[in-house]
Amino acid sequence: MAFAIEPPIDPMLARAVQEIPEGEGILYEPKWDGFRTLVLRDGDRIHLQSRNGQPLERYFPELQAPLAAALPDRSVVDGELVVAGRQALDFDALLLRIHPAASRIEKLSRETPASYVAFDLLAAEGRDLRRRPFRERRRLLERSLHTGPQVLLTPQTGDPALAARWFERFEGAGLDGVIAKRADLPYVPGERVMWKIKHERTAECVVGGYRRAARGDGVGSLLLGLYDDEGVLHYVGHTSSFGAKERRELLHELEPLRGGPSFGEGRTPGGPSRWSRGRSLDWIPVRPERVCEVRFDHLQGDRFRHAARFLRWRPDRDPASCTFDQLAPPRPFRLAELEREAQAPGP
């Protein structure tokens, strides 16, 4: 038999907003930090599809049996693949699961098993449910999903105050923020019809180098660093949010600082990889004398996962005072508490 909806399926998307929206008929969920994944089941056949349509099941063999037991037959579920560390979600461990060697995949599936967090039901018993309102799809998901240690149902509330507490409370557990969606919303593939409210924090970082712009004359990105307890500067990410005039001005300002120790003793900017797709990653070290304030949304270990946003220069800040303690989790980890909520029956 065929799947209830044949892949690839474009997932429904969210647009970023600054505040948690309020209003009648809005529902809220935690925003999990993992791989957005659609799961398609037809009998014993389980297919995991990534956000961009790629198959993932070979990388997560430990989920085949739990998903077959948890999902209704001939169903399609939308959710997130995550790996839980001892105290928080571990995105680094999740990334390591995408490996070409079958032996490595098998080893990691035992050492760092993944879990699946379901939050929408697109089809069940062969019926396409995408045109039905979200509140109805959620009720069907609650009734039909058999949760367990590796298959969870995301918590949900209609109370914006509770959503705000989740936003604050679960940042230390590694969650991204909050998702909001209308209760009457059909499933609209590929459209940004939900809202996402993500954590954003700031840090003062030392400029330890730069990369030239790929086109034109100027700085393409500033390479940012923080000092550890031993006074060693480590690369933590980059910022590249500059206009053409600013790029030229930056190059003029940084030229006198070329050379020096920069990141020489600590972690340095990465070289070519399978993700760089042939881009030049050569970089120019500068003396670590300039400090800038940047905004970032999420950490991957002790570095910025995405490009940080440049806010302003901080000439008043001593570079040696820019340390990793700025990145400490703002609140205690509460992953176990969140997992208990995810395993509890739905409202």
Catalytic residue numbers? 31
The values of phi and psi at residue 65, to 5°, are: -70, -45
* Secondary structure (3-state) at 339: helix
Closest by Cα among 52, 67, 26, 264 to 152? 67
Using CA of residue 52, residue 53, residue 58, residue 63, what is the dihedral sign? positive
> Please, is 188 exposed, middle or buried when counting C-beta atoms within 10 Å of its C-beta (0-12, 13-18, 19+)?
middle
Closest by Cα among 62, 58, 50 to 111? 62
* Secondary structure (3-state) at 338: helix
The values of phi and psi at residue 280, to 5°, are: -70, 125
